[in-house]
């Protein structure tokens, strides 16, 4: 009976391991890695030109330097040599889910042309990929809904790339900039003018009549204390 139980436990562990590692995907309760590649060379590379270690942070605090953005990577651009092997450490500094996806890679090495790291909350993952020799700019982004639109977007260039991608925070202009129009009518103009005048007048009167205000407050406090007694 004991041997049977051990055998069933081993079988379950094997099945679980196979379920968590299939189709180029590694997955556990913390996150997921898809299409990692540390050994196979692209067809246009005869050897690895350089090993590059890159640490990429993701989180809300990295968006503070970009007006109107909510999420961002700590860097927005990287440049490497053709046929470089990149060893990425992806760190999520938030308590919510973030991804790091690189698109446009050769499909014979990276299914769907994609390299993907994902963390469901705070933590880190490490994985490698080998880039082709083509001079190109690759999109790096988070595909969680609205995260890329809110700033979590960057670019990876090989040999200087083939140009900047649009809407990279701090690097390139947005395709469609956020616009917050104000419907200026006589009423809104009057309200704005009234707010400006009030903002200037109130401090002036407070300073001029400071002593009188102080006396009124003092008398009011004295009356309150007397009533309590």
User: DSSP letter string over 92-120?
Assistant: E-SSS-EEEEEE---TTTSGGGEEEEEES
In the chain, what is the straight-line distance between the N-terminal and C-terminal CA atoms, in Å? 84
Structure confidence at residue 80 (pLDDT): 97
Residue 113 has pLDDT above 90, yes or no: yes
What pLDDT is attached to residue 206? 73
**Residue 190: HSE in the Cβ half-sphere, 13 Å Cα cutoff:** 3
**Domain boundaries in the chain?**
14-158, 186-219
Concatenating the DSSP letter of every residue in 151-207 gives: T-EEEEEETT-SSPPTT-TTTS--SS---------HHHHHHHHHHHHHHHHHHHHHH
Q: Please name the residues in contact with 134: beta carbons below 8 A apart, sequence gap of 6 or more.
A: 44, 82, 158
Contact 57, 73 (CB under 8 A): yes
Mean pLDDT of 171-190: 79
Confidence of residue 180 (pLDDT cuts 50, 70, 90): low
pLDDT reading at 183 higher than 50: yes
More confident residue, 71 or 177: 71
Q: What pLDDT, on a 0 to 100 scale, did the predictor assign at position 23?
A: 58
Whether pLDDT at 37 is above 50: yes
Give pLDDT, residue 118.
97
Is 198 or 219 the better-scoring residue by pLDDT?
198
The CATH topology of domain 14-158 is Immunoglobulin-like (2.60.40)
The answer to whether 124 and 92 have CB atoms below 8 angstroms apart is yes
What distance in Å separates the CA atoms of residue 229 and residue 227, rounded to the nearest whole number? 5
Mean pLDDT score of the chain: 86
| pLDDT above 90: residue 86 | yes
In 3D space, the residue among 75, 119, 69 whose CA is nearest the CA of residue 94 turns out to be 119
Residue 178 pLDDT grade (very low, low, confident, very high; cuts 50, 70, 90): low
Strands 31-34 and 51-59: unpaired
For residue 148, which of 100, 115, 105, 112 has the smallest C-alpha distance? 100
Does the pLDDT of residue 135 top 70, yes or no? yes
């Amino acid at each position: 009976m004991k041997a049977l139980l051990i055998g069933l436990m081993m079988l379950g562990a094997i099945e679980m391991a196979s379920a968590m590692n299939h189709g180029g995907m590694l997955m556990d309760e913390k996150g997921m890695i898809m299409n990692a590649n540390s050994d196979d060379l692209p067809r246009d590379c005869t050897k690895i030109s350089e090993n590059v270690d890159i640490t990429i942070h993701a989180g809300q605090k990295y968006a503070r330097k970009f007006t109107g953005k909510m999420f961002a990577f700590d860097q927005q651009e990287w440049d490497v040599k053709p046929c470089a092997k990149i060893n990425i450490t992806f760190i999520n500094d938030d308590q919510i889910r973030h991804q790091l996806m690189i698109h446009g890679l050769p499909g014979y090495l990276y299914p769907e042309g994609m390299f993907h790291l994902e963390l469901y909350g705070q933590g880190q993952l490490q994985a490698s990929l080998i880039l082709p020799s083509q001079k190109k700019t690759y999109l790096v982004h988070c595909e969680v809904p609205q995260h890329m639109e809110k700033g979590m977007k960057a670019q990876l260039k090989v040999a200087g790339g083939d140009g900047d991608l649009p809407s990279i925070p701090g690097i390139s202009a947005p395709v469609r900039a956020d616009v917050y129009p104000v419907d200026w009518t006589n009423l809104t103009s009057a309200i704005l003018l009234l707010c400006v005048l009030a903002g200037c007048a109130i401090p002036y009167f407070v300073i001029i009549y400071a002593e009188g205000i102080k006396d009124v407050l003092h008398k009011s406090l004295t009356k309150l204390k007397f009533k309590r007694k």
